[in-house]
Structure 1
Amino acid sequence: MSIVKASIACAVSAALVGTAGIAGAQGNQSGNKTIATVVKITGETWFNRMEDGVKAFGASTPGVTTAQYGPPKADAALQTKIIDDLIAKKVDAITVVPMDPSTLEGVLKRAMDRGIKVVTHEADNAKNTHVDIEAFDNKAFGARFNERLAKCMGGAGKWTSFVGSLGSLTHVQWADGGAENAKKYPKMVLVDAKNESFNDANKAYEKAKEILRKHPDIKGFQGGAAIDVLGIGRAIEEAGLQGKICVIGLGLPKDSGKYLESGAIQGIGFWDPQEAGVVMNKVAKMLLDGQQITDGMDLGVPGYHKVKVKKGPGKGIIVVGEAWIDVDKSNYKNYPF
C-alpha cells in the first residue's frame, strides 16, 4: 500500500510541476489577466498541438498571460489537484478539457465561487462552467465516423468502438452516435462496444489484439481517443490485415500517416486542437472583459465563424461550432500536424 501511495504522490507532484509559473507571471506582469488551460494529459500530440494555440493566443493578445498544464497520465483526480492549485494561485480564468466532467464539478464550482471564469471543452454535461465549447454536435460527429466506416465495410460485418474512458463524455457520445447511425445497416453488428484505452496507444493496441482474437471475423473499428487508431492500426499491421479491416476514428495526420499509407487505417477525423486552444482562451478573455457570447457570433477562429449558442445544464451556456475535418490517405499531408 505504501508503494501505491508513493506512486500517487509522485504522479501528483509531476502533475503540478510548473503551476508556480502562473503566480510568477502574475507578479512579473502586474495588470495582466492569467488564463490557465488544463488538459487531459501532458505530452500527447493532440494536447501539444493545443498548447501551440494557448501560447499563440497569449503572445498575440495584450493584457493576458496564458499557460497550459496537465497530468502525466489521463486521470481526473490528478486534473482536480492541478485545478485546486491554480485556484490557490488566484488565476483569473481556467479553461479545461476534462477527463471526466462529472468528477470535476466540485473543483470547478470552487473556482467559480471564488470569481474565476471557467470555460470547458468536450463537456456539454458540465454544470459548473460559464461556457462549454464544443467543436461540433458530438453525436453527429460520431455518426459521421460511422458512415465512413459503413461505406468502407460495404454496410455489413462486425464492428466495435473505442473510447478514452467511459467517463469521457464526448467519446461516449461519438460511440453512441456511431451505433445509432449503424442501425441504418441491418447487416452491421456491433460487438464489445466502448472499449476503454485510457488515452494510451499501448492499451488501445492490446485491446485491439484481444478483439481480433475474440472476433477473428471483425470488419471494422471506430476509434474515440486521438491515439486509438494508432494502437488499432499497429495491431492490424502485426496481424497482416491491412486493407481487410476498416479503421476510422479520431486522429491527427502526422501520427496517423504511416498507418494511412499502409492501409491499416482508412480514415481519420479531427478538429484542430490548436484552434480549440485559441478559441477557449479567447472566450475566457471575453468573459473577463464582460462580453457576451451570442448565437450566430463569429469568434474569429476557423470552425467557429457562426457558432450556435444554447443553454447548458447549469447556469452557463454551450457554444457549438462546425470545426470537423475529414482526411484519408489522399489528403492527410495537407495538414502539417
Structure 2
Amino acid sequence: MTTLRKLAACTALGLALGAGAAAAQDKPTIVTVVKVTGENWFTRMNQGVDAYGAEHSNVATSQVGPAKADAAQQGRIIEDLVAKNVSAIAVVPMDPSALEGVLRRAEQRGIKVITHEGDSLVNTAVDIEAFDNKAFGTRINEKLAACMGQSGKWTSFVGSLGSLTHNQWVDAGAENAKKYSGMELVAAKNESFNDANKAYEKAKEILRRYPDIKGFQGSSAIDVIGIGRAVEEAGLQDKTCVYGLGLPKDTGPYLDTGAVDEIFFWDPKDAGYVMNVVANMVLDGKEVTDGMDLGVPGYNKVSVKKGPGKGVIVQGEAWVDVDKASYKNYPF
C-alpha cells in the first residue's frame, strides 16, 4: 500500500471512529442515583435499571450512589452528573430538601429530573411513588397494634430525619396509634442511616432503656434486620412485635425465628425499571397521564396529580406484605 493510500485509509478509519463516538454521545443517558451503593435494596433496584437498558438500545442506563447513606455525598454525585450534562437523572433522595438546589441546576441545564420517594420536591418533572405513603404507614402500624394487643410501649425507626417517605410512614403510624389509648410512643424516630449495625445498636439501647417495650416500627429496608438481631439476642421474640420495611431474603432468618413478625415492601427492581420508563418518556416529550399503564407490576393504572412545583406526582399500587409463611415466595 502506498503512503498516500495508507493516509487515506487512516483518515477513513478516523472518521468512522469519530462518527461512532458522536453516535454514542448522541444516545440519551439516564443515570439513576440511589441513596447508598451496596445495600441489597439498591442492588435489586440496579437490576431494574440494567433490565431497562438491555431492552431499550436507544438509551444508555446506569446506576450510581454514595458509599454510605449521606445526603451531601449524594448531592456531589448529582453535581458531577450535571457537569457531564447527562440527559436525565432519576434520583432516590436521601434528603429531598438537601437536593433542591442541585436538581434546579440540572433542570436549568435541560437535564430531565425524575424522582422516587420525594413527593415534596419542587425541582422534578415527575416524582414516582409506589403507593400512598400515609396509607402504607398506617397499614404497618395497624398490624403492629394488633400484635401488641393495642397496648404497651412502642418506638419507630427512620433512615434519617431527612428521609421524607420514612417520616411520612412513621408519622402516619403515630397518628394511627392515637386510636388506642393503651399504646405509648417512646423515643420516636431513631435514625439508622440505612445501616443495620446502627439499627442494632439503637435497638439494644431502646431495650435497655425500656425493658417492657413491646413494639418496633422500622422504615429503612435494613431497620428490621438490626432490630430483629437485638430482639433475638435478648430472647424477646415472643414478647415483642417488629414490623417494617424489609426485603424477604434479608429478613427471612428473623421471620423464621419470630424476631421479626412481618415485613412490607415494593419491588426495588420494578421501581428502578419504572423510573427509567418515565425518564425515557419525558425525554421523548411524552406525558404520564392518570390511569396510564406503565407496563410494570404495581404501576398498571397509575394516579397522577400535580406536584408542589411544575411537575407531577405519579402513584402506583405496588406494596406487598409478607410473614414467615409467605416470604419465600419472593426471590429477593
TM-score, normalization by structure 2: 0.93
Q: Which one is further off, 183-192 or 157-166?
A: 183-192
SS of the residue 1:261 aligns to: helix
SS of the residue 1:286 aligns to: helix
Post-superposition offset of 1:29: 2.4
SS of the residue 2:214 aligns to: strand
Q: Which residue is 1:122 aligned to?
A: 117
Post-superposition offset of 1:61: 1.1
On the 8 A contact 1:247/1:266 being kept in 2, the answer is yes
Post-superposition offset of 1:234: 0.4
On the 8 A contact 1:26/1:34 being kept in 2, the answer is no
On the 8 A contact 1:271/1:324 being kept in 2, the answer is yes
SS of the residue 2:51 aligns to: helix
Q: Which residue is 1:161 aligned to?
A: 156
The match for 2:240 among 237, 240, 245 is 245
The match for 1:32 among 27, 30, 55 is 27
Q: Which residue is 2:265 aligned to?
A: 270
On the 8 A contact 1:26/1:32 being kept in 2, the answer is no
SS of the residue 1:119 aligns to: strand
Query: Is the counterpart of residue 291 in structure 1 residue 286 in structure 2?
Result: yes
Q: Could you list the per-position Cα deviations for residues 212-271 of structure 1 after superposition, in whole angstroms to 9, with x for gaps in the alignment? A: 011000000000100000000000011011121000000000000000001100000000
Q: Which residue is 1:316 aligned to?
A: 311
Consecutive unaligned residues of structure 1, counting only runs of 5 or more, are 1-24
Distance in 1 (alpha carbons) for counterparts of 2:330 and 2:317:
18
SS of the residue 2:32 aligns to: strand
SS of the residue 2:26 aligns to: coil
SS of the residue 1:29 aligns to: helix
SS of the residue 1:180 aligns to: helix
Post-superposition offset of 1:28: 6.9
Post-superposition offset of 1:30: 4.1
Q: Which residue is 1:20 aligned to?
A: none
The residue correspondences of 1:322-337 to structure 2 (distance < 5 A) are 322-337=317-332
Consecutive unaligned residues of structure 2, counting only runs of 5 or more, are 1-19
Q: Which residue is 1:53 aligned to?
A: 48
Q: Which residue is 1:174 aligned to?
A: 169
Which letter does structure 1 place at the counterpart of 2:212?
D
Q: CA RMSD in A?
A: 1.1
On the 8 A contact 1:162/1:196 being kept in 2, the answer is yes
Post-superposition offset of 1:297: 0.8
Query: Is the counterpart of residue 188 in structure 1 residue 220 in structure 2?
Result: no
Q: Which residue is 1:78 aligned to?
A: 73
Distance in 2 (alpha carbons) for counterparts of 1:246 and 1:263:
9
SS of the residue 2:44 aligns to: helix
Which letter does structure 2 place at the counterpart of 1:103?
A
Q: Which residue is 1:142 aligned to?
A: 137
Distance in 2 (alpha carbons) for counterparts of 1:144 and 1:270:
12
Distance in 2 (alpha carbons) for counterparts of 1:27 and 1:202:
47
Distance in 1 (alpha carbons) for counterparts of 2:72 and 2:22:
29
Q: Could you list the per-position Cα deviations for residues 92-116 of structure 1 after superposition, in whole angstroms to 9, with x for gaps in the alignment? A: 0000000000000000000000000
Which letter does structure 2 place at the counterpart of 1:48?
T
Which letter does structure 2 place at the counterpart of 1:170?
T
Distance in 1 (alpha carbons) for counterparts of 2:35 and 2:331:
23
Post-superposition offset of 1:31: 3.3
Distance in 1 (alpha carbons) for counterparts of 2:303 and 2:107:
24
Distance in 2 (alpha carbons) for counterparts of 1:73 and 1:149:
30
Distance in 2 (alpha carbons) for counterparts of 1:242 and 1:80:
40
Runs of 4+ in 1 over 6 A off after TM superposition: none
Q: Relative to structure 1, is the Cα distance of residues 85 and 234 closer, same or farther in structure 2, using a 3 angstrom cutoff?
A: same
Q: Which one is further off, 175-184 or 275-284?
A: 175-184
SS of the residue 1:37 aligns to: strand
Post-superposition offset of 1:27: 5.8
Structure having the higher Rg:
2
Which letter does structure 2 place at the counterpart of 1:92?
S
Q: Which residue is 2:201 aligned to?
A: 206
SS of the residue 1:218 aligns to: coil
Distance in 1 (alpha carbons) for counterparts of 2:328 and 2:22:
43
Which letter does structure 1 place at the counterpart of 2:81?
L
On the 8 A contact 1:31/1:63 being kept in 2, the answer is no
Distance in 2 (alpha carbons) for counterparts of 1:122 and 1:162:
17
Distance in 2 (alpha carbons) for counterparts of 1:87 and 1:169:
24
Q: Could you list the per-position Cα deviations for residues 126-170 of structure 1 after superposition, in whole angstroms to 9, with x for gaps in the alignment? A: 000000000011111000100110111111111000000010000
Q: Relative to structure 1, is the Cα distance of residues 48 and 27 closer, same or farther in structure 2, using a 3 angstrom cutoff?
A: farther
- Aligned-residue sequence identity (percent) comes to 72
Q: Which residue is 1:88 aligned to?
A: 83
The residue correspondences of 1:56-67 to structure 2 (distance < 5 A) are 56-67=51-62
Query: Is the counterpart of residue 109 in structure 1 residue 104 in structure 2?
Result: yes
